[in-house]
Chains A and B, each alone.
Chain A
C-alpha cells in the first residue's frame, strides 16, 4: 500500500521539474516517465444528498509534456443522464474526488474532494474545468471543479448535450513568490547616475540654474511682506493647514 504512494509522489516531483527534492532516485523517474501515472476520478450525485462515488474517468500524468495532465472518461449512461437532468431542478450537488496518494486505485486512502451545483453542470452542457492542486513537494492537496458558464438560470437542456463531458484539466502548482528586486533597482539607479554624469548641465537643480531670477522675486516679496504683517501671518496660517 505504502510503496506505490511513495513512488507516485516521487514521480510527480520529477514531473514538476522544479528540483525541490534532493532525495529522488533517478531509476524510478525513468520508469514512470514512459508509462505515466493514472489517478481515478470519481463522482457522485444523488437525490437525497447521500454520497456514493462511482468512477468517472482516469487522470493520467505524463511527464515532460506540455499538458502533463490528461483525462480519459466514459460517456454517461442513460440512467445517469436522466438523473442529472432531474436533479438540475433541485439544489443537488455534483461531487468529485481523487485520492491524495497516487497510484493506489482501489484503496481507502485519503481523498480530496470538491463539488459544483448539478444545475450549473447541466446548463453548461457538461463543460467543466477540473484543477488539481499540488504543494511544493508534489503531493496532491486539492481538486476543484467549475463549469463554464457557472450560472443556474433554469434553462432547458437537450439530451444530446448531456452525453459527453467536455472537460479541461489543469495542474496547478505553487508559483514562486516574488522577492524584492534589489538588483534591478540598483542597476536602474546606476544607469540614471551614469546618464546624469554624461550631461552635467542637467545635473544642476532648478534653483541652481535660475537663481538670478528667483532671488529678486524673493527679495521683492519679503519687502512687500514686511510692510503688511497681517497679510504675512494669514498666509502662514493657511500654509500650516496642510497636515
Chain B
C-alpha cells in the first residue's frame, strides 16, 4: 500500500434481513448443521478432471528469446522473461514444453541467456547463479555459485578446440567457466574497476578474449586476456572524450573492430581492438545519413558463432523508424541499404548465410517483413510476409527471426513478434499467424466476474414486461410482435441446426456471437474481466478459458494501479452492462476513467468526467440512475467529490441520502485513518480521526467486507438451544499493523477492528513475536489472519469471531450509529503446517452454504479448508453440548488433507489473487486463482445439495416408479375381480 488508499464505505441503515421468529431460525440452523455434518470432502473424481476447471500457464514478457536450431523442422523456442521464468515453447502450437519458475524479485532475475547446442546457460540473481539447462526437457545440468558482484556481461568463448568456456564479466572481475560443468577455470580482478565500467566482451574464436571498459567522457580501456591462464596479453587506453556508455552505442564488427556512434558530432568511430591503430572518425553525412534529434543512435551487430569473428555488417538505428545496414571493410564504412521507414530490424543466420529482416508498417495494424541478404543488402525474393495485427493490440516491440535453409537452398523464415502489450505472435510465410500468446495475463492485477446476458429470446420477453403499458391494444400488439420474434428465432434456430447437421463439425463453437454468449440456467458461466499490469484488459469465458475480447490502453504507464467497478450488471435489459476502470498513474497520482461494456469489451459512448486532481478513494453507491447505473463517487486529495454519472436525478438522490453516506481514508505514511461524511451540497467533512503512531507500527492492510456478501443466519444455535447472535457490522474494517522493529523477539502485529462510520475501535489485539506477510480474510462476523511466528518459526492463523450475545440490540436493522454495546469477541489460534501465499474465502448467492477458506500454498496447491476448523469455540475438552453443536475438539494444528486440494495436480505458480464469485446455485462458488497462471474451478463447500449428481441413476428411479405404477394397476384389477367374484357368491 503506497500513498493514501482506501476502500468503499457506505452505510445504508437497513441491511440485514429481518428475523421474525426464533423457531424459524433454529430450523434453518439445524439444516445448516446437517450440511456441516457431511461437508468435509471436496475432491473430484478422475473422470471429472477438466470438466469444470481449466488452467492456463504463462511465462511473462520475454527478455531474451532463442530458437534452438536453424532448421525448418525445429520446433522449440527458449525464452527468459521479466517474471524470472525460463521456459521452452512449442513453435507449432505455442504451448509450453517446460517451464522453470525462479524466485520472485531481483533474487531470481535472469540477466543473461546463452545458447549452445542443446544447453541454455543462464546467469541469474544479479550475477549470483550460473546455471545450465537441458533445453529438451528443462532439467538442470549443473549450477555454479558465482562470486558476489554486480553482473555486467557474459559470453561464450570459442577457441581452436571448439566452444568450451563461458566468460562472465562483473563489476570488478572477469572469470572463465567450463561449459561442461560450470567450474571456474580462472578469475582475475579487472584493473581500475572503481572508475572504469566494463561492459563489452568479445572473443573471435582465437585464444584470447577482449574486455572493453570506459570512463564516461574520458577514455576507453581495452584488455586482452589469454583464455588459458587469464593473463593479460595486452592493455590499451584510448582517449575518447565523446564516450557516454558502451551498451547499444558500441558494437564489435568484423575481426575485432569496435564501432561506436557519437551523437554529439553525428559520426561513427572505428577503433581496432587488436592493433595499436588510432581511432578513425567517419561523419554520418559522408554516408548520406542523419541522426534524428534527441536520438542517441543504436548499433546492432551479430556474431553467428563464438568460433568465428563477428560479421562485418551491422545495423545503425538513426531514429525510431530509421535503420541503415552498413558494412565495414578495411576500415572503410559503406552503406549497403537505407531503411527510412522501418519499425524493427533484426539479424538472423542459417548455415553460412546471414540475413537481415526489416519490418515496415503500412498503417497501424498492417505490417510486412522482408528479408535482405546481409552481405549485399539485396532484397531476397519470395520473402515478403504481410500480416495484420489486432487493432486492440499494442505496436511491435521486438522481432525475433527463425531463419532456415529450404531444400532448394533458399532462405525461409518464421518471425516471432513481441508487442508492447506483452503478446507473442508467431508468423509463418506468407503472413499466416500460427499462434498468439497473451503473456499480459501473467500479471493480472484485478478482476471481476460479470453475468452473461440473457439469450435474444429471453431478453425479448424480459423487454416486453419491462416496458410501460399503453392500453390493452398496445399490449396485445406487443405480445403479438414478441411472439412473432420468438417464432422467427425458433425457425432460424431450426434452419441453423439443419445446416449444422449437414456440415462436418468444426470449431464453430468458438465464435463470439450473442447466441453462444448466453447465460446458462444456473449462471455458472460468466464473463471474467481481467485487468493486467501492462494496461491490457481481457474478457475471458469462465467455462472454457477462451479469450473473447481484449482491449489495450496504450497510454498506461507501468506501475499504475487499477480499480474495476461494475456500475451496471447484465440484469437491466435493454441497458448494456457497464464497467468502469479507474487507472491511477503512479508518478503523477492522476487518475483516468474508462467506461466499457464488460461483455463485448467495447468502449461505452458515455463520456466519463475528466479528473484534474489525484483520486484517493472511490465508492460505488447503491443509488441508481434511470438507466440503472450505480453511481460512482470519486474523492480527490482536496476531499472534493466527483459524481459519475452526474445526472440531475442522481444528484437529487445523493442529496437526500447524503446524511447516511460516510467514507474513510487511510494514510499509511502518517498512520492516519479519517472518517468523512457527505454534505447535501456534496462537500465533505471530517468526523473522526484515529492515529496509529508510525514510529512503532505501520499500517499494512485495511480490509472491509465484500459488499455483495449475504449472511443467511443471524446467529448460532448453541448446545443448550439458546441462540448466540452474530455481530454483523457491514461497516467494520480490519486494520493490521506490523511493528517497525523487526527483531525477532520484539516484532509484533496488531489487529484493530474499526467501525468505518464512527471510527470506534471495536477491538484491538496484539500478536507478539509475529511478523508478516499477513493475510486477512474478513467476512460475516469473523476475521481470519495469517502471520509468521518468529519464535516457533511457523505459520499460524488466528480467528476472531464477534457476537452480540444472546440478545440482539436491534433485530430489524443494523446501524453503526446506534449500536452502543461492544460485541463479545472469541479468538483462537492454530498452526498451519505449510507455507501460505494467500487466503480468501468462498462466497455463495444467499450465504446458506457453509464457508471454506481457500488457501494458496507456496507449493502451488490451493487448499479448500472448512471454516469449521477455524472456529474459536472449538472446545479443549469435548462436552455433550459441544457435540450437539458439531464443534470439532480443539487441536493446535490444522489438518491438510489431500482431497482438499481443489486444483489436484494443476499447480498454480506465484498466486497473486483469488477471486470468488457466487453462482446461480447456492451450493456452488466460482473460484479464479491468478498469478503467473490462471486456474478456474467451482467449489461446493457444503457439497452439491441442490443438484442431482452426475451419476444419478435415472433408469433405476424411473423403472422403480413405472414398476410401482404397474403393480398398482394390476393389484387394482385383481382386487376388482376378487370383489366381483365375492359378489357373485
| A216 in contact (CB, < 8 A) | no
Chain A residues whose C-beta falls within 8 Å of the C-beta of B819 in the assembled complex: 146, 150
A175 to B822, CA, bound (A): 15
> How far is the CB of A194 from the nearest CB of chain B, in Å?
15
Q: Give per-residue flags for A158-186: 1 if the beta carbon is below 8 A from chain B beta carbons, else 0.
A: 00000000000000111111111110110
Contact A176-B689, Cβ < 8 Å, known A147-B820, A185-B890: no
Chain A residues whose C-beta falls within 8 Å of the C-beta of B44 in the assembled complex: 243
B929-966 with Cβ < 8 A to chain A: 943, 949, 951-953, 956
Chain B residues whose C-beta falls within 8 Å of the C-beta of A111 in the assembled complex: 689
Contact A241 B949 (CB under 8 A): yes
Contact B760 A131 (CB under 8 A): yes
Chain B residues whose C-beta falls within 8 Å of the C-beta of A133 in the assembled complex: 690, 761, 764
Q: Give the most central of B677, B759, B876, B949: most A CB within 10 Å.
A: B759
B682-730 with Cβ < 8 A to chain A: 685-693, 696-697
Residue in A closest to B749 when the chains form the complex, CB atoms:
A177
Contact B691 A181 (CB under 8 A): no
A111 to B949, CA, bound (A): 61
Residue in A closest to B800 when the chains form the complex, CB atoms:
A177
Contact B949 A141 (CB under 8 A): no
Chain B residues whose C-beta falls within 8 Å of the C-beta of A32 in the assembled complex: none
Contact B687 A141 (CB under 8 A): no
Contact B829 A112 (CB under 8 A): no
Contact A175-B765, Cβ < 8 Å, known A182-B892, A185-B892: yes
> How far is the CB of A95 from the nearest CB of chain B, in Å?
7
Contact of B750 among A100, A135, A148, A238 (CB under 8 A): A135
| A58 in contact (CB, < 8 A) | no
Contact B689 A129 (CB under 8 A): no
Contact A93 B764 (CB under 8 A): no
Chain B residues whose C-beta falls within 8 Å of the C-beta of A237 in the assembled complex: 951, 953
Tell which of A63-71, A75-83, A114-122, A218-226 binds the partner: A114-122
Contact A179 B796 (CB under 8 A): yes
Residue in B closest to A173 when the chains form the complex, CB atoms:
B764
Contact of A49 among B685, B689, B697, B763 (CB under 8 A): B685
New A-B contacts (18) at CB < 8 Å, excluding given A116-B817, A179-B829, A185-B890? A91-B659, A111-B689, A112-B689, A129-B820, A136-B697, A136-B748, A141-B692, A142-B690, A144-B759, A146-B760, A147-B820, A149-B820, A150-B820, A152-B818, A174-B765, A184-B876, A237-B951, A243-B45
Chain A residues whose C-beta falls within 8 Å of the C-beta of B796 in the assembled complex: 179-180
Q: Give the most central of A133, A176, A238: most B CB within 10 Å.
A: A133
Contact A135 B697 (CB under 8 A): yes
Residue in B closest to A176 when the chains form the complex, CB atoms:
B766
A-B contact count (CB 8 A): 148
| B877 in contact (CB, < 8 A) | yes
Contact of A185 among B750, B789, B818, B891 (CB under 8 A): B891
Contact B820 A146 (CB under 8 A): yes
Contact A177-B761, Cβ < 8 Å, known A113-B689, A120-B818: no
Chain B residues whose C-beta falls within 8 Å of the C-beta of A200 in the assembled complex: none
| B41 in contact (CB, < 8 A) | yes
> How far is the CB of A152 from the nearest CB of chain B, in Å?
8
Chain B residues whose C-beta falls within 8 Å of the C-beta of A141 in the assembled complex: 690-693, 761
A237 to B659, CA, bound (A): 61
| B828 in contact (CB, < 8 A) | yes
Contact A114 B759 (CB under 8 A): yes
Chain B residues whose C-beta falls within 8 Å of the C-beta of A129 in the assembled complex: 820
Contact B689 A178 (CB under 8 A): no
Contact A240 B892 (CB under 8 A): no
Contact B679 A178 (CB under 8 A): no
Contact of A181 among B687, B750, B876, B956 (CB under 8 A): B876
Interface size on A, residues (CB 8 A): 53
Q: Give per-residue flags for B871-890: 1 if the beta carbon is below 8 A from chain A beta carbons, else 0.
A: 00000110000000000001
Q: Which 6 A-B pairs have the closest CB atoms?
A: A144-B760, A150-B818, A142-B690, A146-B820, A180-B892, A174-B766
| A38 in contact (CB, < 8 A) | no
| B768 in contact (CB, < 8 A) | yes
| A188 in contact (CB, < 8 A) | yes
> How far is the CB of A58 from the nearest CB of chain B, in Å?
21
Contact A112 B951 (CB under 8 A): no
A188 to B890, CA, bound (A): 11
Q: Give per-residue flags for B250-265: 1 if the beta carbon is below 8 A from chain A beta carbons, else 0.
A: 0000000000000000
Contact B817 A120 (CB under 8 A): yes
B730-754 with Cβ < 8 A to chain A: 748, 750-751, 754
> How far is the CB of A183 from the nearest CB of chain B, in Å?
9
A139 to B766, CA, bound (A): 14
Chain B residues whose C-beta falls within 8 Å of the C-beta of A180 in the assembled complex: 796, 829-831, 892-893
| B647 in contact (CB, < 8 A) | no
| A193 in contact (CB, < 8 A) | no
Chain B residues whose C-beta falls within 8 Å of the C-beta of A73 in the assembled complex: none
| B43 in contact (CB, < 8 A) | yes
Residue in B closest to A185 when the chains form the complex, CB atoms:
B892
A93 to B951, CA, bound (A): 63
Q: Give the most central of A173, A185, A240: most B CB within 10 Å.
A: A185
Contact A177 B751 (CB under 8 A): yes
